[in-house]
Chains A and B, each alone.
Chain A
């Protein structure tokens, strides 16, 4: 077990190296001149030359990559060409917002998806089953940015229940401890800030989690249907366990292995979805940072954010793999 984890962690390095190289290459090799992209086609030659100098674009490409990598390893992603501020600082500031949104989304998706999937499987072919499977089909087919817009129309514009943008109302930001507003406001006991942050979080988290909810519900239903037909479920009933214990402790526990894998994979897709959701809800996270960077042709910004998201994605997959091996005692790691 420990050996397996160590090996998986060692395998991280070549993958992360590949990730950094890919990010670098997309930005450098597929374009003729990043400086020109940044400044636009009508910039004067002098300005382009000055920017090339500033960005180190005159050096050979491998030297540029080596510089970039050694900076990135030390947590230095360079400076935004527009605002001239440190990209790492900005990413650090925005990371908790994306993390909070993603965690809320995966929490909602897991709870709703697993619950719906289990009930659908136990009551197969019931109205609930059909209803939730149609809803799941909608969930995987709807663009999340559209769902976000529709929810804003219904819950913010028409009903006025929930705010349509931002993380928190002006002046209510809780003291910075973790950067997660829900957690920070709880720790400091600022319940007003907590409920305000929660209200801001609900719509984006539901929108972002909708696709994952649907995927998790489908997966849970399929694996539960298979699991509840197993002989050991009959054994569990024959022991005199109540139906609730049979379903949750015996069936769901075994169905959990593929479900957890799916949840882990969804964490990855959430990071992609965050780019869209954050844009719709003006959520000040890494996703909206990327989009704003693109709009401003601020390529070091895009490069830094993409590298960060890729790295998180790889780390999440590692955690899922390890969790998988903990959950399934049958997996032997030689």
Chain B
């Protein structure tokens, strides 16, 4: 009985959708997903904060004011001041820039390397596959944060180095997804047909195969940004990430740690900012998964 009800619902939806362009259909489904909308709204707030930080920030995030150090939140300092008397709210606004940039760049780096490696491994198979995936397996044999720490130890501190470290350790995830997706589409008739009319390997992979495995990659990359932001914050917290005095949320947490007993606000707000950012990408990723590829759920 219930099955029949569902059938009639889906056939309704299908018959309605026939006349719409894929973009319109995507948007309609996207805006029907609560998590996608909440994620998008949070993200827009963050992007606005990052872009207009100089406009919104009431103080210079780097100007210390020792007599005013460690004051609790007040109307003058919305989130209080840190151990050097800097305005935490202003620092958090500027910190949004760093977190977003590190997250997006690290994932882009991982994505480019992962897609190429995964596609090559999946497409050619054999020894190439064994070598590439063997390498990936070794990387996956370490907790990624530990590997990132190891890389940072040898690379030294800095935003660009954090991007490289986090990017490298996330490569295997993308390589795996791309490889298995390529394996599953490789034998499809349309790929065989494209090969038969004389397409080269590169064209086959990038024009005929990859566009068909885009959905899981987009979803993974969106959630991957949240992982990257968490890892960047962890590196900052351990004193390995972005060097002070740069306003980076993890670093703010790390340096505020000493004073939690008398000024708990100093770690509260940067942590909330990280949580909100990570949540935005998680929600967006969950929403995109529902919209793009319900089977992944």
Do A and B touch directly, given a CB cutoff of 8 Å in the complex? yes
Say which residue of A37, A138, A269 sits within 8 Å of B154 (CB atoms): A37
Q: Is the CB of A146 within 8 A of B153?
A: no
- A302 in complex: contacting residue of B150, B261, B279, CB < 8 Å: B150
Identify which of B84-92, B103-111, B214-222, B234-242 touches chain A. B234-242
Rounded to whole Å, the gap between the CB of A177 and the closest CB of chain B is 29
Closest A-chain residue to B234, C-beta based? A276
User: A153: which of B137, B146, B239, B260 is its contact (CB, 8 Å)?
Assistant: B260
Q: Please, which residues of chain B bring their CB within 8 A of the CB of A275?
A: 143, 145-146, 149, 238
- Which residues of chain B are near A157, meaning CB under 8 Å? 260-261, 264
Task: Evaluate contact between B253 and A149: CB separation under 8 angstroms.
Answer: yes
Question: B203 at the A/B interface (Cβ < 8 Å)?
Answer: no
Given A153-B260, A157-B261, A275-B149, check contact A137 B283 (CB 8 Å): yes
Contacts of A26 on B, CB cut-off 8 Å? 147, 150-151, 154
Q: Is the CB of A306 within 8 A of B253?
A: no
Report which of A15, A269, A294 forms a contact with B143, defined as CB distance below 8 A. A269
Which stretch of B15-23, B56-64, B194-202, B268-276 is in the interface?
Answer: B268-276
The answer to whether A302 and B153 touch across the interface, beta carbons within 8 angstroms, is yes
Rounded to whole angstroms, the CA-CA distance of A231 and B154 in the bound complex is 56
Q: How far is the CB of B144 from chain A (nearest CB, A)?
A: 7
Q: Does B50 sit at the interface, judged by CB under 8 A?
A: no
Of the residues B137, B144, B154, B257, contact of A27 by C-beta under 8 Å: B154
CB of B143 within 8 A of CB of A271, answer: yes
Indicate if the CB atoms of B142 and A145 lie closer than 8 Å: no
A309 CB within 8 Å of chain B = yes
Q: Does B8 contact A (CB under 8 A)?
A: no
In the complex, A150→B278 CA distance in Å?
18
Contacts A26-B150, A37-B154, A295-B239 given; indicate if A143 touches B145 (C-beta within 8 A).
Answer: no
A18 contacts partner chain B, Cβ-Cβ < 8 Å: yes
Across-interface contacts of A271 in B (CB, < 8 A):
143, 146
* Chain A residues with CB below 8 A from B282, complex form: 137, 140-141
Q: Once the chains bind, are B238 and A268 in contact (CB under 8 Å)?
A: no
Give the residues in chain B near A152, CB-CB below 8 Å. 260
Q: Is B155 an interface residue (CB 8 A)?
A: yes
Do the beta carbons of B142 and A310 come within 8 Å of each other?
Answer: yes
Evaluate contact between A294 and B149: CB separation under 8 angstroms.
yes
| Nearest A-chain residue to B152, judged by Cβ | A294
* A30 located at the interface, meaning its Cβ lies under 8 Å from any Cβ of chain B in the complex: yes
What residue in chain A is nearest B272 (Cβ atoms)?
A146
Q: Mark A132-160, 1 if CB is under 8 A from B, else 0.
A: 00000110111101110110110001000
B106 → A minimal CB distance (Å): 16
Question: A268 to chain B: which residues have CB within 8 Å?
Answer: 143
Q: Tell yes or no: B54 within 8 A of A by CB.
A: no
Chain B nearest Cβ from A245, distance in angstroms: 24
Does A272 reach chain B (CB closer than 8 Å)? Answer: yes
Residue B226 is within 8 A (CB to CB) of chain A in the complex = yes
Would you call B141 an interface residue if the criterion is a C-beta within 8 Å of the partner chain's C-beta atoms? yes
Q: A145-B237, A271-B146 are in contact. Are A150 and B138 (CB under 8 A)?
A: no
Whole-angstrom distance between the Cβ of B210 and the nearest chain A Cβ:
27
Residues of B within 8 A of A19 (CB): 138, 141-142
CB nearest neighbor in A for B145: A272
> Does chain B have a CB within 8 A of A201?
no
Looking across the interface, which residue of chain A has its beta carbon closest to that of B253? Answer: A146
Given contacts A22-B139, A150-B267, A310-B142, contact A145 B253 (CB under 8 A): yes
- Decide if A150 touches B153 in the complex (CB within 8 Å): no
Chain B residues within 8 Å of chain A by Cβ, number: 44
| Shortest Cβ distance from A279 into B: residue | B238
| Contact B154 A18, beta carbon cutoff 8 Å | no
In angstroms, how far is the closest chain B Cβ from the Cβ of A163?
A: 13
Is A291 located at the chain interface by the 8 A CB criterion?
Answer: yes
Quote the shortest CB–CB distance from B257 to chain A (angstroms): 7
A111 vs B271: C-alpha distance in the bound complex, in angstroms?
27
- Least distance between A201 CB and chain B CB atoms (Å): 20
Check: A95 CB closer than 8 A to any chain B CB.
no
- Cα of A138 to Cα of B274 in the assembled complex, Å: 11
Q: How far is the CA of A37 from the CA of B152 in the complex (A)?
A: 12
Kindly identify, within residues 212 to 252 of chain B, every residue whose CB is under 8 Å from any CB belonging to chain A: 226, 230, 233-234, 237-240, 250
Report chain A residues within 8 Å CB of B250: 143
CB contacts under 8 Å to B, within A12-41, are: 14-15, 18-19, 21-23, 26-27, 30-31, 37
In whole angstroms, what is the CA distance A264 to B279 when docked?
Answer: 24
In the complex, A324 has a CB within 8 A of chain B: no
Residue in contact with A222 in the complex, picked from B153, B276, B297, CB distance below 8 Å: B297
- By a beta-carbon cutoff of 8 Å, the part of chain B in contact with chain A is 134-135, 137-139, 141-147, 149-151, 153-155, 226, 230, 233-234, 237-240, 250, 253, 257, 260-261, 264, 267-268, 270-271, 274-276, 278-279, 282-283, 297
**A residues near B, CB below 8 A?**
14-15, 18-19, 21-23, 26-27, 30-31, 37, 137-138, 140-143, 145-147, 149-150, 152-153, 157, 222, 268-269, 271-273, 275-276, 279-280, 290-291, 294-295, 299, 302, 306, 309-310, 313-314, 317
Listed by A's residue number, 25 A-B pairs whose Cβ atoms lie within 8 Å are: A14-B134, A18-B137, A18-B138, A18-B141, A19-B142, A22-B141, A27-B150, A137-B282, A141-B278, A141-B282, A143-B237, A143-B253, A143-B274, A143-B275, A146-B275, A150-B271, A157-B264, A269-B143, A272-B143, A276-B145, A276-B234, A280-B257, A290-B149, A294-B153, A314-B141
Add 17 more A-B contacts to A150-B267, A153-B260 (CB < 8 A).
A23-B150, A27-B154, A141-B226, A143-B250, A143-B275, A143-B278, A146-B271, A153-B264, A157-B261, A268-B143, A272-B145, A272-B146, A275-B145, A275-B149, A299-B153, A306-B142, A306-B146
